[in-house]
Each structure stands twice: as structure tokens, then as C-alpha cells.
Amino acid sequence: MVTQIKLGDIDVDVVKKDIKNIHLSVHPPTGKVRISAPLRMDIDNIRVFAITKLDWIKNQQQKLCEQARETPREYLNRESHYVWGKRYLLTVFEDAQLSSVELKHQQMLLHVRPGTDEHKRQALVEDWYRAQLKQAVQPLIEKWEPLIGVKVERVFAQRMKTKWGSCNHKARTIRCNTELAKKPAECLEYIVVHELVHLLEPTHNARFVALMDQFMPKWQFYRDELNRLPVRHEHWVY
């Protein structure tokens, strides 16, 4: 159940969960604020916590408002698409071949059946991005598991509405946003390390920061790079 509190002109959604620590997040694209709080915590104490974080909330909202947005994609010839941070121009072939996507030089070649509409083209490209991400994630998992000292049970690649990644530390699973296949490869590696560290520390507390500093000293640089890049043009919800 979601309870809403107001901090001046800022609406904050509060969700109580069976967790130990309170967690504050600001979500793209509009800067929606959400607090996950322990079941035992009353709403007045949650409000006090939110007030102490008001400057941080406003700062995060400003960053999101300033972040560039991709123009809507129509999956037509000469349209720009990004793969691992590099720009490719889409070329659509309507032929009898099986549907496929491939990169050749600076082009993304999309083969579709005659009459394939925009939504089907979009689905084909998104499936291709998902496959690219799955292929790239596994070697990173194998690299970082022994370095961090954790073991992942399962990794999911999926289109996510509000996050670049997530971790279920109890089930020992992580999820990565398929949009990461559009970003530089080091951004994906940062997200993988971030989520693996959550298996050691579920919250973003001082211990989590110290662990990130230990395993990936430049993690804040990669985080800022990822947050600086244009995000998908749509209204994200959660």
C-alpha cells in the first residue's frame, strides 16, 4: 500500500516493507520521489527523515530535468541507434528473409518481412538488444563473482522502467536494464558490480559505498557518465 506525504510542492510516495532500513529514491524522468520504510516506522518519523533529505531530493530532481532525452524512434531508414556507446544508422530491408538485426560498419541492418509495422520492428530491435546484453553480462559476472566473493543464482536482462539494475539479495538474483546495451560497455560493468555488491550490503549505506570504493575505485565516474547520457524517450513509471 502506498501512502503519500507532501514536502511543500513535492509529493513523496511511501511504501512500508519488511526491511531493516529506510531507503529514498528519485526516479526518472520527472523526479518522482519514493521512500521504502520498515513496517515499524511511523509516518511522522518518515516525514522527518524526508525533510532532512530535501536538499538532496531537489538536487536529484534538477539533474533528471536537465538530462537529455532521446527523440522518439520510428524504426525508419537513416535513424540513429546506439550500441555500446557507438552511433549506427538504421537501414531497413523489406525482403523475404527471416527477420534479423546486424551491425555492419556504421550501420544497423534490420531485415523484416514486407509490411512489417513500426511496433514489430521495435520489438525485433529490442529483442536484439536483450540478446546483446545477455551475451555481455555473463563474462562480467564470471569476472566479478570471485573478486567480490559472491555467487549469483540467476541474471535477468529486461526492459526496466525506472532503474538501470536491481538486486534481490535473498534470492541472489540480479536484473539489468536492456537499455544498457546502448551505453558504453564500462557503464554495464559498473551496474554489474553495483548489483553484486548489493549481495553483500543490500542498502546504499556507508558500508556499500566503502565496498564500491574498494572493488571499483572509479565507480562514481561511471555512474555520472551513465546518468549524463540521453535516456529513452518515454514516461517511465514504476
Q: Give residue-wise pLDDT tens across range 152-200.
A: 999 999 988 778 999 998 999 999 999 999 999 999 999 999 999 999 9
73 in a domain, yes or no? no
Examine residue 12 and state whether it is found in any structural domain, yes or no: yes
Which 3-state string (H, E, C) describes the chain?
CEEEEEECCEEEEEEEECCCCCEEEEECCCCEEEEEEECCCCHHHHHHHHHHCHHHHHHHHHHHHHCCECCCCCCCCCCEEEECCEEEEEEEEECCCCCEEEEECCEEEEEECCCCCHHHHHHHHHHHHHHHHHHHHHHHHHHHHHHHCCCCCEEEEECCCCCCEEEECCCCEEEEEHHHHHCCHHHHHHHHHHHHHCCCCCCCCHHHHHHHHHHCCCHHHHHHHHHHCCECCCCCCC
Residues 108 and 196 in one domain: yes
pLDDT (tens digit, 9 = 90+) per residue, 106-117? 999 999 999 999
31 falls within a domain: yes
Q: Is 233 within the bounds of a domain? A: no
pLDDT reported for residue 230: 62
Does the residue 234 lie in any domain?
Answer: no
Range of the structural domain that residue 195 is part of: 80-228
The pLDDT value given to residue 67:
60
Is 96 in the same domain as 156?
Answer: yes
Instruction: Give yes or no: residues 204 and 88 share one domain.
Output: yes
Last residue of a domain, one of 16, 44, 66: 66
Answer with the one of 14, 38, 66 that is the final residue of a domain.
Answer: 66
Whether 72 is covered by a domain: the verdict is: no
Query: How many separate domains does the chain show?
Result: 2
Q: What is residue 68's predicted lDDT score, i.e. its pLDDT?
A: 56
Looking at the fold, whether 161 and 129 belong to one and the same domain comes out as yes
Q: What is the pLDDT of residue 224?
A: 83
pLDDT at 40: 92
Q: Considering 31, 66, 101, which residue would you say is the last residue of a domain?
A: 66
Residue 108 forms part of a structural domain: yes
Residues 26 and 118 reside in one and the same domain:
no
Tens of pLDDT along the chain (238 residues) come to: 789 999 988 999 999 988 888 989 887 667 889 999 999 999 999 999 999 999 999 988 887 776 655 667 889 999 999 999 999 999 999 987 789 999 999 999 999 999 999 999 999 999 999 999 999 999 999 999 999 999 999 999 998 877 899 999 899 999 999 999 999 999 999 999 999 999 999 988 889 999 999 999 999 999 888 877 765 544 433 3
